Structure 1
Amino acid sequence: MNEEALDRLLRDVRAGRTTIEAALAALRWLPFADLGFAKVDTHRLLRRRAAEAVYCPGKTAEQIIRIADTLRGAGAPVLLTRAGPEVAAAALAAFPDARHVAGASLVVIGALPERRIGSVGVLTGGTGDLAVAEEAAWTAEAMGASVTRAYDVGVAGLHRLGAQRDLLQRARALVVVAGMDGALPAVVAGLTRAPVIGVPTSVGYGAHFGGIAPLLTMLNACAPGVAVVNIDNGFGAGYLAAVINAGPEARRSPEEVSGETALCDDDAHRLP
């Protein structure tokens, strides 16, 4: 249930179109829906105002479909992350509005927001980082952000980054995905006022240690303004970028907004 649905329900009770018993039945599942194998948080959209996600590894296709079906009632897109071919096929069969983003091992259920706001940039050091970057980009788009992609602009050919000056200047948040030595986020942070979210990937040879090397590089970035998520965590980076992009207005409760409006109305009627 989202804010609009809750508002409609309460208005229907007040107008006598819905009984108190029916409203209680609808609200009873607000905290979570107990499926036995999972307690699905159906209240999260009200708190976070963001798309819901299901991490697929370790769950059966049937479990994932039941969780996703429960979450769909909230009214926001549902993301199935790290979705393999079996899960993707099951989701496409179960949900007519689902799409499989194979390059990101992602399934998106439901329509993305028509109105996109702000500017989030997603950059990669190399083409090998695309899967993680696409997970980040789709996540941010599902949360209403306008996303620009700039791929294969790593430090091995730093002149390629220069062509992205406009993006570096206008972005509200930048997701920078890199494997190997993981130097790109620090370089980007030195060229922009936007916060940089570094995503180390498991792309690299031997002493790269499956992403540990770029993770440590990003954590030790000399340029200020760099935050780092876990190895290959495109979802976490895209989510954080979208929250930053939305700004403080999106994090204010309706009560705060209505309270400020009431104060402004009072001030308008005061004599100087």
Structure 2
Amino acid sequence: MDLSPFKQDIDELIDEFSQGESTTLTEMKRVWLSRKFSFIFEASPSSNLGFFMQSLYGHSIGHMVNGASLSQRLGGLYCLYCLYETQPFKPRYLIYISLGELTKLRELVVDAKEKGIRVVCALVNWMLVKNMFLLGAVEFNEGSVKERINELTDLQNARVGVAYKKLLENTRIEHFLHMDLGAESDVEMLKKMSTDYAKAKELAIKEASEVVDVENVKHLSENKNLIGDVVEKIAQEWIIQKQAFYEKTGFKPPSAQENQELERDTLGMEPATNHLPIEQKKEND
């Protein structure tokens, strides 16, 4: 996948922005709209969209951390923000940023505040509040693309694992997943009761046959499917299904101590959201 034309477009966008030593997000939006830059997504590939977006993000971050002037660095930040906000993909691709790049971003915020460019701090805070960043450890360069994609995959898998754990922690699924159906149903007692009932039923029909015609109810004593045996079979099938579930998901059966904790119900909480558009924040040059 040749991304050179896309990177050149980003270079030209930031060059035009920085030619007049521009420093505001409003000015970047003006340049962005004048160049109809959102059309960059019209030429996006039909596959490897994650790689495509991270490449655009990475190139913008390169300007943000390595720009020769403050205007170029700000241009990289504003371009990064606009790429995220205008992407047509649902869900949106998060911005992968390394620890080193995050440190450089902090330095950019400090430099901008010293120059009185307060919109930068507001913008970065907004990006953090909206969880636009995906924090990692690998610096982006042409030779580390595969390593970076692998780390993104690991991060995504870890997030799925955390979500899976939270799902089980915050619902009754955990209780039913680990319960012993045989113990819950007291199979041994049911077997004894059903056996005693079957014997009593057989004896009652036998005694009744001595005085009345029991041909129409005789079949009732011939039923060999005792309820205790049926429940025991279901309990055994439950154990087999649980084991298959453990093997497929990698989820481990709980320890004795964890079993005690599982007896207590847990309450889930829905996160609150705070929608505050960046456009409402005033810029002070």
TM-score normalized with structure 2 length = 0.23
Greater helix fraction, Structure 1 or Structure 2: 2
Relative contact order, higher structure (CA 8 A, sep 6+): 2
- Compare CA radii of gyration and give the structure with the larger one: 2
